[in-house]
């Protein structure tokens, strides 16, 4: 796992869901840098762990950011499929980012890491790619195009030794 110098392992922050609520948030680690948009961070809210999509400051400062953020949030919020990451809530964590972040369910690893660090059969790979196809079919049926389908963006939840569910 890549650690960010901007994050302190286990740092407690306040999550502003709205103007009247504050929730304790623990930041564990950076899960990965995601190209030009920002990074994914593993966090804990109350007793539940999630992934947080945090955008780079230079992305947040662009005039089209708010519109793109709202569109991505709306798309994620409307998608309900077993092979699509489940969106939880948008929020602000001021010590983590000056802009909004997206909270999503936390998965165990991506396909790139799984494929390079675990033993697997051809059938395992076929099962994963079949589930990727099901998720893409669902998105396409809703006129949504992923636009960044890579092995690092196929996220896995290990159910049993050879029965992975990916999103």
Angstrom distances, CA of residue 12 to CA of 39, 88, 100, 138? 19, 20, 18, 37
DSSP structural state of residue 152: G
Q: Name which of 151, 82, 158 is nearest 110 in CA terms.
A: 151
57 belongs to the catalytic site: no
Residue 118 phi/psi, 5-degree rounding, is -125, 150
- The residue annotated as part of the active site, out of 57, 74, 137, 148, is 148
Residue 2 phi/psi, 5-degree rounding, is -85, 130
Residue linked to tokens 């007793």: 47
Task: Please list the active-site residues.
Answer: 148
């Amino acid at each position: 796992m890549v650690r960010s110098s901007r994050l302190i392992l286990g740092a407690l922050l306040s999550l502003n869901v709205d103007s009247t609520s504050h929730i304790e948030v623990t930041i564990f680690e950076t899960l990965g840098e995601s190209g030009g948009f920002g990074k994914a961070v593993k966090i804990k809210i109350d007793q539940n762990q999630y992934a947080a999509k945090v955008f780079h400051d230079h992305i947040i400062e662009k005039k089209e950011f708010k519109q793109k953020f709202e569109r991505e949030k709306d798309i994620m919020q409307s998608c309900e499929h077993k092979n699509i990451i489940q969106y939880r809530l948008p929020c602000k964590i001021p010590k983590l980012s000056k802009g909004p972040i997206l909270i999503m369910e936390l998965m165990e690893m991506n396909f790139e890491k799984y494929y390079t660090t675990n033993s697997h059969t051809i059938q395992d790979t076929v099962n994963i790619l079949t589930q990727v196809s099901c998720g893409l079919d669902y998105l396409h049926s809703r006129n949504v195009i992923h636009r960044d389908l890579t092995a690092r963006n196929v996220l896995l939840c290990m159910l049993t030794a050879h029965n992975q569910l990916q999103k």
